[in-house]
Amino acid sequence: MSVTVVVGAQWGDEGKGKITDFLAADVAVVARAQGGSNAGHTVVFDGQEYKLHLLPSGILRSDVLAIAGAGMVIDPEQLLHELEQLPVERGELLLDERAHVVMPYHKLLDAAEEKAKGSGAAGTTGRGIGPAYGDRATRFGIRVGDLLEPETLRERLARVVPRTQALLAHYGVTERLDEQALFTLASGWGSALVDSIGNASLEIAGRLNQGVLLEGAQGVHIDIDHGIYPFVTSSSPTPAGMAQGAGVAPQRLSRTVGVVKGYTTRVGTGPFPTELQDSTGDYLRQQGNEFGTTTGRPRRCGWLDLVMLEHSQRLCGFSELAFTKLDVMGGLDKIRVCTAYESPQGHLEHFPASMTLLAECTPVYQDFPGWPALSGLEWLAVAESGDLPPSLSTYIAFVCKQLGVPAGLLSLGPERETTLRLR
C-alpha cells in the first residue's frame, strides 16, 4: 500500500472529516500536514459528535496512529483540550518535532492585524495561524521540539518577545508580554506532550506498506499560492503541500480523493459567484447545519461551481471524487450547476486570479431536477443498497463527466454507515 490524500476541492468545510474517518478503516496512519486549529472537522461515531480542530480525524479509530505533521502550526492548549474530549479507546498521537507552536501572542497579533486591514480583512478564525506561519517564515518561530529543550526555548522567546511587543504596539495593543510566564506555559506544554513528540516523517516511512492517509485541512481555493488571495489561509491544502508538510516523497502519493460538497459554501469575505442570498440559500444553510465548526459563523451557501472545481482538478489531479451533503439537497425542486462565467472580459471557463474580475463574474447555469427529501433511515437504506434516486445519479454523472474524474464515495448522511462506496 502507499499514500491516499484527502483534499477539500472547494473553500473548505466540504466534509473531509467524515470522509477521512471512513477511509481510515483501511490504513494504519492518518496524518494532518498543514494548517492548525483554524480547521474544523466533524466526525459522528457511535451516535456521538466530535468536533476536531487539530487532531486528525482518524484518531477515533483505536488501531490508527494519528500524526500532526511538520507543516502544521499547533496550539498545545487547544490540542490538550481536544484530547480530553475523546473516548478512552482512541488512536495513538504523534506530534512532529518540527511543527511550529501557536503562542498566545500570535492570537493577539492575528486580531490586531485583521482589524488594521479593515475591509480587506480575510475573515480569519482569530486562532493565530497566520502570525505563527509568519514567524516560521521569518525564522522567529518556536517548534514543538523546542518545548523539550529549556535553553533553546528561552533563547527563542528572548528573540521573539521584544519583536512581537513592538508589532503589537504598532497596532495599538497595550497588553504586555511576560517572557517568563510564556516560558513557564510552554515548558508545561512540553511536559504534558513529551511522550507524543517525535519524527513523523520517519514513522510514516516505516508504515507505508500498512497504508497512510493524509487529511487535508481547508480547501484548494484558499491555498496560499493558488487560492483567492488575499482571502486565503496560510498554508497549501493541495496534495503537493500535504506531501511536503507530512514529510512524504511526492511519488508515494497513489490516490487523491477530492472531497466535493454537493453545493458550495464559504465563510469570511470575498467574491462568491454562485452565492444564493435567497430562500434556497437559507434552506441549504439550515438543512446542512452550515455554521462554522471553528467559529460558529453562518456559512454563505451557493450552487456547485464547476469553474472552481476545474481549477482544483488541474492543481490536484484527483483520482476520484467523494461527494458530501447530498442528502441535504433533497427536497429542492431544481438543482443548478455553474458551468462557466460571463464577465467584462467575456466568457470564462477557467477560474481567474483577479478578485476584482471574479467579483464581476455572473454564473452560467445548467439546471437539473431535484431529488426527494428522505429520512435518515431512508438514506441509510440507499447507502446499503446503492439504489440512488435517478435525478441524483444524473447529477453525479454530469459533474464527473465535466471534470473527467469518477465518483468514489457518496456521503448520504453524517454517520459512517451512510456512505456509499462506488470504487
Catalytic residues: 13, 41
For 296, other C-beta atoms within 10 Å of its C-beta total 9
Cell of 227: 487560492
For 216, other C-beta atoms within 10 Å of its C-beta total 34
Residue 390 CA to residue 158 CA, distance in Å, equals 64
Residue 391 CA to residue 368 CA, distance in Å, equals 8
Residue 332 CA to residue 370 CA, distance in Å, equals 5
Cell of 223: 491555498
Q: What are the DSSP calls for 332-398, one per residue?
A: -SEEEEEEEEEETTEEE-S--S-HHHHHT-EEEEEEEE------HHHHHHHHHH----HHHHHHHHH
What separation, in Å, do the N-terminal and C-terminal C-alpha atoms of the chain show? Answer: 16
Residue 4 CA to residue 215 CA, distance in Å, equals 9
Cis bond upstream, residue 230 (ω within 30) = yes
Residue type present at position 95: L
Residue 206's contacts (CB-CB under 8 Å, 6 or more residues apart) are none
Half-sphere exposure of 14 (CA within 13 A, CB side): 31
Residue 329 CA to residue 47 CA, distance in Å, equals 23
Q: What are the DSSP calls for 217-261, one per residue?
A: -S-GGG-TTTSSTTS--SS--SHHHHHHHHT--GGGEEEEEEEEE
Strands 212-215 and 3-8: parallel
| Helix 150-170 with 179-193: angle, nearest 10 deg | 130
